[in-house]
Structure 1
Amino acid sequence: MLSWEERRLMVKVAMLYYFEGWTQAEIATKYNVSRPVISKLLNNAKKEGIVEIYIKDETYHTVELEQKLIEKFNLKEVIVVSTAGFAPEMAKRQLGKSAASYIAKRTKDVKSLGISWGSTLLSFVEEFPYEHKKDVHIVPIVGGMGSEYVHIHSNQLAFNLAQKMNTSCSYLYAPALVESIDLKDRLVNTKDIANVLELAQNVELAVVGIGNPFKEATMEKIGYLNDNDLTSLRKAGAVGDISSRFYDAVGNELDHPLNQRVIGLNLDEIKKIPEVVGIVEGSYKLESIEAALNGGYLDVLITDDRTAQELLQNQSLR
């Protein structure tokens, strides 16, 4: 039990430190003791319940989720965006804004940036600030030619992002998915496509989305996947895709004909990129995100608070 004098001293020290803004050194001088003595008094004041510290800010919840996800999945960084009450498009825009802020800071240190395709990445590019980053080169990491949904294709996103940065970009003149393996082999061996794929393999940072092939799949909307493809993918155990490459529940890339017809980096090549940033929202993609994290494909995850909460609540994961 603390004596009355000890409790009184703790309260006085705590008031000077927390309310009056005194430094520990200043308090130590006042009471003619060493600074470590004051530090110990402040720590004991917390242990005894004399001092309780609260963080009163709405971002505390999201920051707590971020830290737990970093620890659970051994990630470099997690950004959790509060999207409560937002319509889906507004939630996607908020995610894009947070991703744009993070990437804008990171591009101070990198010379090459890879980009995949999709509606979430479109939000990221649209929210990216106009800045001069002429020493950064943008490279699509998957093909993107086609007449449908051109605005979300990798080449268009690379071009638009390069305009925002006032810098240069490459173009991958090929579809993401071609009709046959033979055609894919012939295309990837042409000089222009081979050169861009080599650039893609050597980017320092890449930005990707994550898809669920069975729920609101953009690849189905744009005609890349038909009912037979979806049935085949389901039988093969597909749960998600990154850059049009499908993977199973533990994160292994599927040995599937669709994957063999993709023009772009495979998942092992994506994993070798020094920093891969995944932008994804919607708890309907939960299984897809879990598998991608288990596969080790992401270094940075940017997601919404509901999805983050569900990722932590799922006990089936390590």
Structure 2
Amino acid sequence: MLNWEERKQMVKIANLYYIDGWTQQQIAKKVGVSRPIISKLLQRAKDLGIVEVYIKDESAHTVDLELQLEKKYELQDAIVISTVGLTPEMTKRAVGQAGAYYLSKYLKRMNVKRLGISWGSTLAELVKEYPFERREEMNIVPLVGGMGTQHVEIHANQLAYELAKKMGCKCSYLYAPAIVETKELKEHIVAMKEIASVLEEVKEVELALVGIGNPYRGSTMKELNYLQEDDLQNLRKTGAVGDIASRFFDESGETINHPLNDKVIGLSLEDLRGIKEVIGVVEGTHKLESVLAALKGKYLDVLIVDEQTASALLEER
């Protein structure tokens, strides 16, 4: 049983998180503990009934959007997150929360031995929100190499590690950059025993979590200097509209013929299509063209997305 002080602390943390919109990291700093402890306390607050989460949409608008997305794009599942009154950062967190809930529910009913994860800030929110639950039989595999020394918290290796910690399971590490300088260097690196063995694991992934990027707007790859201005101009010329795990595709979802795609260390788009279940987790209408192309390319089985982007996808011919 909780004593009065413990319950008061839990209520305070829950209020900061659910009512005031603080991040777990901000709360951890204020309280003076680690972020995983805050995550555990929030989960315990739910378990004890201190916090009850309700999704209220009186018009059932998002449910209707989900059904329309599933039908139009032949998806197994679509989850649409209401964005009413939310800032972009809050929307991203809400999409991440929905992704975490969906993944947890999926793993309860499906026997998954190997889970793959790409990289990005929306997937990082999913991992932060994922509950602590034992899945010792699983192995989590990064689908693409690291992205340099900046924003390490959104790299595939780091996300695989953080998710594995929460599940109490193993993870693999792809100790290589996402994109190298030359095709010859890539061929040398992927021939290395440790890299080659992880890339083989990548091909055996049963369930994949992926984000979708727009190279021209809000691009983390550009922010990290993986894409220079001349790269962007060349990508435009070849018709690139988006990327999954740093692999670029055109408006019909087909892999573009561009040197950058030949220098990526990680999952190919062809191999992505071969994965049994692929969950796309996306936030932001600036990614509309990219998500549309990914859907046309049949890369996704499940789409978890914000309401505005969902509505825009349904307006597309």
Letter matched to residue 282 of structure 2: V
Superposed displacement of residue 85, structure 1: 1.7
In structure 1, C-alpha distance between the alignment counterparts of 2:271 and 2:226, rounded to whole Å: 22
Q: Which runs of 5+ in 2 are unaligned?
A: 1-55
Q: Contact between 1:245 and 1:262, CA under 8 Å: does it hold in 2?
A: yes
What's 1:308 paired with?
310
Superposed displacement of residue 86, structure 1: 0.8
Q: Contact between 1:111 and 1:204, CA under 8 Å: does it hold in 2?
A: yes
Letter matched to residue 107 of structure 1: L
What's 1:171 paired with?
173
SS in 2 for 1:107: helix
When residues 275 and 310 of structure 1 are mapped into structure 2, their CA distance, relative to the original with a 3 A threshold, is same
Q: Which residue, 167, 179, 182 being the options, matches 1:180?
A: 182
User: Displaced runs of 4+ in structure 1, greater than 4 A?
Assistant: none
In structure 2, C-alpha distance between the alignment counterparts of 1:311 and 1:67, rounded to whole Å: 13
What's 2:252 paired with?
250
Superposed displacement of residue 137, structure 1: 0.8
For residues 258-295 of structure 1, what are the alpha-carbon distances to aligned partners after superposition, in whole Å with 9 as ceiling and x for unaligned? 00000001101011000000000111111101000000
Letter matched to residue 90 of structure 1: M
When residues 180 and 85 of structure 1 are mapped into structure 2, their CA distance, relative to the original with a 3 A threshold, is same
In structure 2, C-alpha distance between the alignment counterparts of 1:76 and 1:176, rounded to whole Å: 30
In structure 1, C-alpha distance between the alignment counterparts of 2:58 and 2:141, rounded to whole Å: 37
1:233 aligns with 2:235: yes
Superposed displacement of residue 111, structure 1: 1.1
What's 2:295 paired with?
293
Superposed displacement of residue 57, structure 1: 4.5
Superposed displacement of residue 118, structure 1: 0.6
Q: Contact between 2:147 and 2:224, CA under 8 Å: does it hold in 1?
A: no
Q: Which has the larger radius of gyration?
A: 1
Letter matched to residue 163 of structure 1: K
Map 1:1-318 → 2, pairs under 5 A? 57-58=57-58, 60-108=60-108, 109=110, 110-315=112-317
Superposed displacement of residue 105, structure 1: 1.6
Q: Contact between 1:145 and 1:173, CA under 8 Å: does it hold in 2?
A: no
In structure 2, C-alpha distance between the alignment counterparts of 1:304 and 1:312, rounded to whole Å: 13
In structure 1, C-alpha distance between the alignment counterparts of 2:107 and 2:186, rounded to whole Å: 32
What's 1:19 paired with?
none
- How many correspondences in the alignment? 260
In structure 2, C-alpha distance between the alignment counterparts of 1:312 and 1:257, rounded to whole Å: 33
In structure 1, C-alpha distance between the alignment counterparts of 2:182 and 2:155, rounded to whole Å: 20
SS in 1 for 2:115: strand
Superposed displacement of residue 133, structure 1: 0.8
Root mean square deviation, CA, Å? 1.1
Q: Contact between 1:107 and 1:136, CA under 8 Å: does it hold in 2?
A: no
Superposed displacement of residue 104, structure 1: 0.9
SS in 1 for 2:60: helix
Superposed displacement of residue 122, structure 1: 0.4
> Between the two proteins, what is the percent identity of the paired residues?
55
SS in 2 for 1:215: coil
In structure 2, C-alpha distance between the alignment counterparts of 1:211 and 1:277, rounded to whole Å: 14
When residues 278 and 200 of structure 1 are mapped into structure 2, their CA distance, relative to the original with a 3 A threshold, is same
Letter matched to residue 118 of structure 2: S
SS in 2 for 1:206: strand
When residues 308 and 190 of structure 1 are mapped into structure 2, their CA distance, relative to the original with a 3 A threshold, is same
Q: Contact between 1:96 and 1:123, CA under 8 Å: does it hold in 2?
A: yes
Superposed displacement of residue 60, structure 1: 1.2
TM-score of the aligned structures, taking structure 1 as reference length? 0.80
What's 1:52 paired with?
none
In structure 1, C-alpha distance between the alignment counterparts of 2:305 and 2:164, rounded to whole Å: 24
TM-score of the aligned structures, taking structure 2 as reference length? 0.81
For residues 198-226 of structure 1, what are the alpha-carbon distances to aligned partners after superposition, in whole Å with 9 as ceiling and x for unaligned? 11111110000000000010000011000
Letter matched to residue 80 of structure 2: V
SS in 2 for 1:78: strand
Q: Contact between 1:208 and 1:243, CA under 8 Å: does it hold in 2?
A: yes
Superposed displacement of residue 145, structure 1: 5.0
Letter matched to residue 128 of structure 1: Y
Q: Which runs of 5+ in 1 are unaligned?
A: 1-55
In structure 2, C-alpha distance between the alignment counterparts of 1:105 and 1:132, rounded to whole Å: 13
